[in-house]
Amino acid sequence: MFYLFMSLYKENTKHRKFTERSNMIHSFIEMVEIIKIYGFINMSNIIIANGKYIIISNIHIPSSYQPNIEPIYLYKKGLTFCSSKLDTTYQKIPVNTYFVYNIITGNIKSYSM
Protein backbone atom coordinates (compact mmCIF):
# COMPACT_ATOMS: atom_id res chain seq x y z
CA MET A 1 0.00 0.00 0.00
CA PHE A 2 2.83 2.37 0.85
CA TYR A 3 4.49 1.73 -2.51
CA LEU A 4 1.19 2.49 -4.27
CA PHE A 5 0.85 5.70 -2.24
CA MET A 6 4.43 6.73 -3.09
CA SER A 7 3.91 6.02 -6.80
CA LEU A 8 0.76 8.16 -6.86
CA TYR A 9 2.47 10.91 -4.83
CA LYS A 10 5.40 10.98 -7.25
CA GLU A 11 3.14 11.12 -10.32
CA ASN A 12 0.99 13.86 -8.81
CA THR A 13 4.13 15.85 -7.98
CA LYS A 14 5.24 15.69 -11.63
CA HIS A 15 1.95 16.39 -13.35
CA ARG A 16 -0.26 18.42 -11.02
CA LYS A 17 0.03 21.69 -9.14
CA PHE A 18 -0.76 20.44 -5.64
CA THR A 19 0.48 21.79 -2.37
CA GLU A 20 2.30 19.23 -0.24
CA ARG A 21 -0.80 18.76 1.92
CA SER A 22 -3.18 18.45 -1.05
CA ASN A 23 -0.89 15.98 -2.78
CA MET A 24 -0.72 13.76 0.31
CA ILE A 25 -4.50 13.78 0.73
CA HIS A 26 -5.21 13.24 -2.98
CA SER A 27 -2.64 10.42 -3.24
CA PHE A 28 -4.02 8.76 -0.10
CA ILE A 29 -7.61 8.86 -1.37
CA GLU A 30 -6.51 7.58 -4.80
CA MET A 31 -4.65 4.70 -3.11
CA VAL A 32 -7.73 3.65 -1.13
CA GLU A 33 -9.97 3.92 -4.22
CA ILE A 34 -7.61 1.81 -6.39
CA ILE A 35 -7.53 -0.92 -3.74
CA LYS A 36 -11.33 -0.79 -3.55
CA ILE A 37 -11.78 -0.89 -7.37
CA TYR A 38 -9.75 -4.12 -7.61
CA GLY A 39 -11.87 -5.76 -4.92
CA PHE A 40 -9.26 -6.14 -2.21
CA ILE A 41 -10.33 -6.15 1.42
CA ASN A 42 -8.77 -3.14 3.11
CA MET A 43 -8.79 -3.04 6.88
CA SER A 44 -5.90 -0.94 7.99
CA ASN A 45 -4.66 1.70 10.32
CA ILE A 46 -2.12 3.73 8.36
CA ILE A 47 0.27 6.49 9.36
CA ILE A 48 2.10 8.35 6.59
CA ALA A 49 4.39 11.28 7.36
CA ASN A 50 6.07 13.67 4.95
CA GLY A 51 7.51 17.09 5.67
CA LYS A 52 5.24 18.87 8.10
CA TYR A 53 2.16 16.67 7.54
CA ILE A 54 1.05 13.34 8.99
CA ILE A 55 -1.95 11.34 7.77
CA ILE A 56 -3.46 8.92 10.28
CA SER A 57 -6.29 6.71 9.05
CA ASN A 58 -8.67 3.94 10.02
CA ILE A 59 -9.90 2.21 6.86
CA HIS A 60 -12.46 -0.61 6.68
CA ILE A 61 -13.55 -1.69 3.21
CA PRO A 62 -14.77 -5.31 3.16
CA SER A 63 -15.33 -7.21 -0.07
CA SER A 64 -18.61 -8.68 -1.25
CA TYR A 65 -17.10 -12.14 -0.63
CA GLN A 66 -16.48 -11.49 3.06
CA PRO A 67 -18.76 -8.61 4.09
CA ASN A 68 -18.91 -9.47 7.81
CA ILE A 69 -15.28 -9.01 8.78
CA GLU A 70 -14.93 -6.92 11.92
CA PRO A 71 -13.10 -3.62 11.52
CA ILE A 72 -9.78 -2.86 13.17
CA TYR A 73 -10.53 -0.01 15.53
CA LEU A 74 -8.36 2.97 16.22
CA TYR A 75 -8.61 5.08 19.36
CA LYS A 76 -7.63 8.71 19.93
CA LYS A 77 -6.89 10.89 22.91
CA GLY A 78 -5.50 14.31 22.05
CA LEU A 79 -2.70 13.56 19.60
CA THR A 80 -2.25 9.98 20.77
CA PHE A 81 -3.55 7.31 18.41
CA CYS A 82 -3.49 3.61 19.24
CA SER A 83 -5.17 0.35 18.29
CA SER A 84 -6.10 -0.47 21.90
CA LYS A 85 -8.29 1.56 24.20
CA LEU A 86 -5.80 2.31 26.96
CA ASP A 87 -8.34 3.92 29.30
CA THR A 88 -11.91 5.22 29.29
CA THR A 89 -10.90 8.68 28.02
CA TYR A 90 -9.84 7.36 24.59
CA GLN A 91 -12.44 7.82 21.85
CA LYS A 92 -13.11 5.22 19.18
CA ILE A 93 -12.49 6.65 15.72
CA PRO A 94 -15.21 5.83 13.18
CA VAL A 95 -14.08 3.55 10.36
CA ASN A 96 -13.16 5.16 7.03
CA THR A 97 -11.89 8.28 8.74
CA TYR A 98 -8.54 9.95 8.31
CA PHE A 99 -6.78 12.82 10.04
CA VAL A 100 -4.29 15.32 8.65
CA TYR A 101 -1.97 16.75 11.26
CA ASN A 102 0.30 19.74 10.64
CA ILE A 103 3.24 19.35 13.02
CA ILE A 104 4.28 23.00 12.63
CA THR A 105 0.95 24.65 13.50
CA GLY A 106 -0.49 21.82 15.59
CA ASN A 107 -3.71 21.81 13.54
CA ILE A 108 -5.44 18.48 13.14
CA LYS A 109 -8.49 17.94 10.93
CA SER A 110 -10.56 14.81 10.43
CA TYR A 111 -12.26 13.70 7.24
CA SER A 112 -14.62 10.88 6.32
CA MET A 113 -14.14 8.79 3.22
Q: Please report, for the chain, the start and end positions of each structural domain, with discontinuous segments joined by +.
A: 2-112
Rounded to whole angstroms, the Cα distance separating 48 from 3 reads 11
CA separation for the pair 93, 16 (Å, rounded): 32
Task: Specify the pLDDT at position 86.
Answer: 87
User: In the chain, how many H helices and how many E strands?
Assistant: 2, 7
Cβ count near 60 (within 10 Å): 19
| 25-28, Cβ contacts within 8 angstroms, sequence gap of 24 or more | 25/55, 25/100, 25/111, 28/55, 28/57, 28/98
Report the alpha-carbon distance of residue 27 to residue 22 in Å, rounded.
8
- Is the pLDDT at 69 greater than 90? The verdict is no
pLDDT confidence bin for 67, thresholds 50/70/90: low
Helical packing angle, 2-15 and 20-37, nearest 10° = 130
Residue 82: pLDDT above 90? no
Q: Give the pLDDT mean for 39-58.
A: 91
Flag whether pLDDT at 3 surpasses 90: yes
